Every structure is written in C-alpha cells, then in structure tokens.
Amino acid sequence: MAEVIFLGQIRKVAGLAAFGIDAGTVERLLEALRQVMSPAFQEFVFEEESLRQDIEVLVNDRNIALLDGLKTALNPFDQVTLRINSARGFPSG
C-alpha cells in the first residue's frame, strides 16, 4: 500500500497528514483519492478531470514529470507526496 503524504495547504484541506492507498499507478491513486476525499479536497487539488497546474506529485521524492508522469508505477512501499509548487492566491502565484 503506497503512503500518500499531504503537505502545506493540501494537508489542511485533506484534514490529515498521510493516507495509505492501494494503486498500481499515480493515475489510479489520484482517481482513488477523488473518490474518498472530501469535496473541498477535490476542488483544491483538481480542476475538472485533471490536477491543477500548481500541484506537484512526487514519488519517493522524485517529481513524476521526471518519471513516467501519471503512468508512473507504484510499489507497495512507495511514498507519494502532494504539494503546491507556488503561493496560490498571491499575485505571483
């Protein structure tokens, strides 16, 4: 079971720091989160059917953009981190 770590504002919206979930890829993990997390979390992290542009997903501290993107495979002991890569709500963010 992969461990999902929520950082910053995402942690506040999620209402918890970490969450365990079974998923074979990052894409499946995000789909599962959409089903189990609150509407506030969904609105904060997703825009329609995709991640908001300022959300970064890391697998074992490596950005999925440097791996296989949403198709990045997950192993049972992987750590997936969700964080914001900018200051949302500020003029430059």
Ordered by where they begin, the domains of the chain are: 2-84 (3.10.20.30)
How many other CB atoms sit within 10 Å of the CB of residue 53?
9
Q: Per-residue pLDDT tens for 63-85?
A: 999 999 999 999 999 999 999 98
List pLDDT tens digits, range 25-55: 999 999 999 999 999 999 999 998 899 999 9
3-class DSSP state for residue 21? strand
Residue 91, pLDDT > 80, answer: no
* β-pair partners for 50: 47
Looking at residue 63, its amino acid is N
Position 93 pLDDT exceeds 50: no
pTM as predicted: 0.88
Q: Distance between CA atoms of 68 and 71, rounded to whole angstroms?
A: 5
Per-residue model confidence (pLDDT) at position 86? 73
